[in-house]
Amino acid sequence: MFLQGGPGGDAPRPFHAPASPSWLDAALEHYRVVMIDQRGTGRSTPVGDRDLDERGTAELAEYITHLRADAIVRDCEAMREHLGAATWSVLGQSFGGFTTLAYLTTDAASIRDAYFTGGLSAVGHHPDDVYALTYDKLRDASQRYYRRFPHHRDTIRRLADLAADGRIVLPDGEVVSVSRLRSLGTLLGSNDGWQNLHELLEHEPHTNAFRYDLAGLLPFSAREPLYYVFHESSYADGHATSWSAERVEPDDFRSDVTLLTGEHVHRDWLDTVPGLRPWKDVALALADHPWPKLYDADALRASGARGAAAVYVHDLYVPLEFSVATAALAAGRDPVDHQRARALRTARGRCAART
């Protein structure tokens, strides 16, 4: 069973040459690979603009609360039973890995092997803890990019000034806000995304090339509204999110527009992005929803999970520190307190500097 990233994305359609995902051909030499459109996506009763008219805000917001990882696990179990498999191996990518963790929490006996690629979520933490750490990652990624291309720092400043004046307008009519422009930092989280950012920033902002390329590179498109409206719920392990990424934005990010952001959703997009504007009331309602817990540390520790996980040192979306702690849980060990470890590293760094 392959669980793709998201939330809100369709399962891959592997009708390309070479196959997509890139590992599929190798997997098919040993496995029958099952992919599902997760709830609310693809052909699994997709959630879209039509639902806004048919359901109304309150009903649609309540409906979306049933599309999270815990519900997807129940669908996976129904599929496994339908296929007559006593157990199966599960591979989760990013949000799919979060779902695999929820699977190990409630139905570990169904999983023969659990595999993760960039998808070991924080367990028992508030979303604020996660987003605070992702800002640290984006600060470092922004500074690394500017060390290579220092002239682009001034380019971003110039573009931010234009955005503040309402002078960057996309082909669909979106007047790009400063926060929306800065979300281009999402590109720095992939191997070659910096190349796309570099190419974009070499274009003059008044050109068609810049406007159309910018439209294609900005995250959180209206094609998959779920990705925006309940993105923060992915990290809500028993909490309301209350626009977590906005609330914990560090002071230096507020004062320095050249520090780029990533998967940090902003409320102002509900007023400035045409495709997201109709979703405003739904998104506001979901931000106040008291999301139930997804994971149980004791259950994960006792799951007997076996398999493998790939985690990434410079991951801008799923911080390494939480991934390592969760991996320890799944392996039956007590996790290291990453916040305490960070404080110790900082203290050691200060001592070294004084020396």
Tell me which residue has tokens 């290579």: 148
Is the pTM for the entire model greater than 0.85? yes
Reduce the DSSP state of residue 294 to 3 states and report it.
coil
Say how far apart CA 304 and CA 76 lie, in whole Å: 19
Q: What is the pLDDT of residue 355?
A: 31
Tens digits of residue pLDDT in 172-217: 999 999 999 999 999 999 989 999 999 999 999 999 999 999 999 9
- Angstrom distance (rounded) from CA 226 to CA 231: 7
Estimate the share of the chain in helix, then strand, then coil, as percent rounded to the nearest 5: 50, 5, 40
State pLDDT tens for residues 317-345: 999 999 999 999 888 776 655 555 554 34
Half-sphere CA count of 84, side-chain side, radius 13 A:
0
List the structure tokens of 93: 């990518």
Share above pLDDT 70 across residues of the chain, in percent, rounded to a whole number: 93
Question: Which pLDDT tens digit goes with each residue over 245-272?
Answer: 999 999 999 999 999 999 999 999 999 9
Partners of 117 in the beta sheet?
A: 93, 310
Tokens of 345: 């590293």
Angle of CA points 337, 341, 345, to nearest 5°: 175
| CA gyration radius, the chain | 21
